[in-house]
Amino acid sequence: MITPTSAEERAATTEVNGGRPTVDFDQATPYDDYVGTAVLHDLQRTMTGEPEELAFLVTTQVMELYFGLLRSEWLLVRRLLDDDDLPGATAALRRSVRHFEALNASWASLSWMTPAQFNGFRDALGEASGFQSAMYRHVEFLLGLKSAVQLRPYRRAPKIYAGLQEALAAPSLYDAVLAHLSRRGFAVPAEVLERDLTEEYRPRDAVEAVWVEVYGSADTALRELAEAMMDVAVQFSDWKYRHVVAVRRSMGAKPGSGGSNGLKWLEQSMRRDIFPELWTARTFM
């Protein structure tokens, strides 16, 4: 059980221990209680005896945890933008970029996998596929990559399905940023602000012009927000690229486990940019 302690109590314990760590506890260590290490390490239940499968499973679980962390950060960003707290939103966005860098770095744990090694346990996974990750779907929806069809795999999981329905209908990060710019007096078209949020965002020349105006203005805070958004977009592009490379290396162009055509499907998804006018506006700056 975790018992909160004060700075004074920690100093007193250090003096009693003579500067050495505490080694006697009534039950489990506070660290194990807080982190839930017993639960975490019990979650690695491989389907085969192939040594490579554990690396695949652990890396996938780490990615899932980072998806959840990114979702939490971006929900906070959206709330801060709704409150017009620009410094707070930008700080949270920048923090999320560091999380995204760590997420992308996790691909290194799978970059060595050959087709023979992947094939050693792939059949045992059945139809399990990363495409079915509900938390990753939350991430995509928050980035504006909306699709009602992608809710269908979760219809028989009511809690997950309801959460994704809510996420589909909610504003994306980009929607929240554009609404903030509108409140600041920028000419964001009404058709953008009032559009059906369940549909994937479609780029518009008028929004591109808004970003050109933002970058040409004297408002440093807005430019910093825009660059933080670009950092997120770059990390997402890196995520998709590393995913494609990992698949090409471990399975080539074989059909995907979840029913797709595998590599071709991933390569098509790479073409879906987030925050599109932030990219194209650079031509006119």
Q: How many CA atoms lie within 13 A of 130 on its CB side?
A: 21
Residue 242 has pLDDT above 70, yes or no: yes
> Would you say the pTM of this structure is higher than 0.75?
yes
Residue 262 — very low, low, confident or very high, per pLDDT cuts 50/70/90?
Answer: low
250 Cα distance to chain centroid = 23
Please give the class, per CATH, of domain 24-284: mainly alpha
- Give the highest mean pLDDT range of 10-14, 25-29, 122-126, 141-145: 141-145
CA distance 32 to 52: 27
Residue 59 has pLDDT above 70, yes or no: yes
- Using one digit for the tens of pLDDT, what is the confidence trace for 79-119? 999 999 999 999 999 999 999 999 999 999 998 999 999 99
What are all long-range contacts of 74-77, with beta carbons under 8 Å and residues at least 24 apart? 74/139, 74/142, 74/173, 75/142, 77/173, 77/176
CA distance 97 to 108: 18
Would you say 41 is a known binding-site residue?
no
Token output for 106: 């996790």
Would you say 272 is a known binding-site residue?
no
Residue 250 — very low, low, confident or very high, per pLDDT cuts 50/70/90?
Answer: confident
pLDDT of res. 247:
83
Domain spans of the chain, in order of start: 24-284
| CA dihedral angle for residue 137, residue 139, residue 142, residue 144, rounded to 10 degrees | -70
What are all long-range contacts of 7-13, with beta carbons under 8 Å and residues at least 24 apart? none
- Using one digit for the tens of pLDDT, what is the confidence trace for 172-205? 999 999 999 999 999 999 999 999 999 999 999 9
Segment (H or E) for 130: none
Give start and end residues of each alpha helix (H) in the chain.
7-17, 30-35, 37-42, 51-82, 86-105, 115-122, 134-142, 158-169, 173-183, 190-193, 205-216, 220-251, 263-269, 276-280
Residue 252 — very low, low, confident or very high, per pLDDT cuts 50/70/90?
Answer: confident
